[in-house]
């Protein structure tokens, strides 16, 4: 039976230039490998050591990239190691099999959203009406499933985010602030549901997970064991649970530590 490893990507295993500031002074920074290029510009990195660890992990476990990114955004990433057979995109809205979205899963997700939460248009209208153009740079809709804003973080009023979260909660939606992005995501749209489906299909008898944001909490709770780095929404809230390990490392070094923990569990005597 395989070990299934479902890991968040951004600010968990891979890091943008802005997120690299979480790590350490320049003089002590580790050697980096670029894993994402967009419009001829390097966007995301992991350490060379993390690259080697991820390659090893692909040989001993079923590694499943698990991200809130859209399919198009995910496809820009070129991770080291074996090409993943499965990936979870759009926060569980799309389950990719050999790069193609599984239509049955997509239909099930669509039905749940229609039954269990307010429609996307209502959320978009609220965001357009209440978000101040002084600090909003972009309004975006991802895969017709959820919405997010790109903001100037230093100008963003903290109270506005709290008010949005309270308003969305009553409509069956979750709000997550990650770097310069504010996500509004339907509660039925979860990474954990997609991970459970893959565990069922593959017969995995052990599930491992890692993530840094509020949108990863359900994934960590659903896995047999989970890890979170020393940065991000979950760390800021000092969030934890019995089978979840809160790591002290921050930034790209946290990515290395998470991969080491995955490998340790995969290689432990059963």
Res. 121 pLDDT band, cuts 50 70 90: very high
pLDDT tens digits, 185-235: 999 999 999 999 999 999 999 999 999 999 999 999 999 999 999 999 999
Q: What is the pTM of this model?
A: 0.93
pLDDT at 20 over 90: no
Mean pLDDT computed over 12-23? 86
- The C-alpha atoms of residue 146 and residue 143 are separated, in whole angstroms, by 7
Mean pLDDT computed over 96-105? 98
Mean pLDDT computed over 163-181? 95
Domain boundaries, the chain: 3-110+189-267, 118-186
Task: Tell me the CATH number for domain 3-110+189-267.
Answer: 3.40.50.1000
- Residue 270 vs residues 1, 60, 63, 203: alpha-carbon distances, Å: 11, 14, 19, 16
pLDDT of residue 18: 83
Task: Tell me the CATH number for domain 118-186.
Answer: 3.30.1360
DSSP bridge partners of 176? 183
């Amino acid at each position: 039976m395989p070990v299934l490893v479902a890991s968040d990507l951004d600010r968990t295993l891979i890091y943008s230039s802005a997120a690299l500031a979480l790590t350490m002074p320049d003089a002590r920074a580790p050697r980096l490998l670029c894993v994402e290029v967009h419009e001829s510009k390097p966007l995301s990195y992991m350490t060379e050591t993390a690259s080697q660890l991820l390659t090893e992990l692909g040989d001993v476990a079923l590694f499943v990239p698990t991200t809130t990114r859209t399919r198009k955004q995910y496809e820009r990433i070129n991770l080291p190691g074996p090409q993943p057979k499965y990936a979870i995109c759009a926060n569980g809205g799309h389950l990719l099999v050999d790069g193609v979205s599984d239509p049955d899963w997509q239909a099930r997700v669509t039905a749940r959203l229609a039954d269990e939460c307010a429609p996307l248009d209502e959320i978009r209208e609220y965001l357009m009406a209440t978000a101040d153009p002084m600090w909003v740079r972009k309004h975006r809709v991802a895969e017709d499933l959820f919405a997010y804003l790109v903001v100037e973080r230093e100008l963003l009023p903290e109270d506005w985010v709290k008010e949005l979260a309270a308003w969305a909660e009553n409509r069956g939606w979750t709000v997550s602030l990650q770097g310069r992005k504010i996500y509004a995501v339907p509660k039925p749209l979860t990474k954990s549901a997609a991970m459970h489906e893959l565990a069922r299909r593959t017969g995995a008898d052990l599930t491992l997970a890692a993530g840094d944001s509020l949108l990863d909490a359900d994934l960590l709770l659903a896995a047999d064991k989970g890890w979170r780095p020393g940065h991000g929404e979950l760390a800021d809230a000092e969030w934890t649970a019995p089978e979840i390990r809160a790591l002290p490392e921050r930034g790209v070094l946290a990515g290395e530590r998470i991969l080491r923990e995955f490998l340790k569990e995969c290689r432990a005597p059963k």
